[in-house]
């Protein structure tokens, strides 16, 4: 697990060559999204073929995806 800005990112393998990154807030609060407006205890990226690629998607989601 890594910490990126105020979020934790954990790589999770969901079958052979199916990786997702799970995003949680470092302070334990729910993650709020802008569109659609909602709150979640965690968010998962779409499946990718590597853990590194899933982590990159998570960072892009935090930077540009409307996660607050």
Task: Tell me whether strands 2-4 and 38-40 are parallel, antiparallel or unpaired.
Answer: unpaired
What pLDDT sits at residue 33?
86
**Which pLDDT does position 68 carry in this prediction?**
67
Q: What is the pLDDT of residue 36?
A: 82
Tokens of 29: 């609060």
- Please report the pLDDT score of residue 5 as a whole number: 94
DSSP per position, the chain = -EEETTEEEEEEE-STT-EEEEEEETTSPPEEETTTTEEES-EEPPPBSSHHHHHHHHHHHHHHS-B-
pLDDT tens for the chain, residues 1 to 68? 999 999 999 999 998 989 999 999 999 999 998 888 899 999 999 999 999 999 999 999 999 877 76
Say if residues 48 and 57 touch (Cβ distance below 8 Å). yes
Question: Residue 46 corresponds to which tokens in the numbers above?
Answer: 């779409």
pLDDT of residue 27: 97
């Amino acid at each position: 697990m890594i910490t990126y800005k105020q979020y934790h990112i954990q790589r999770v393998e969901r079958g052979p060559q199916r990786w997702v990154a799970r995003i949680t807030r470092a302070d334990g609060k729910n993650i709020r999204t802008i569109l659609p407006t909602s709150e979640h205890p965690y968010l998962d990226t779409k499946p990718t073929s590597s853990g590194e690629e899933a982590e990159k998607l998570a960072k892009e989601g935090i930077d540009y995806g409307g996660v607050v």
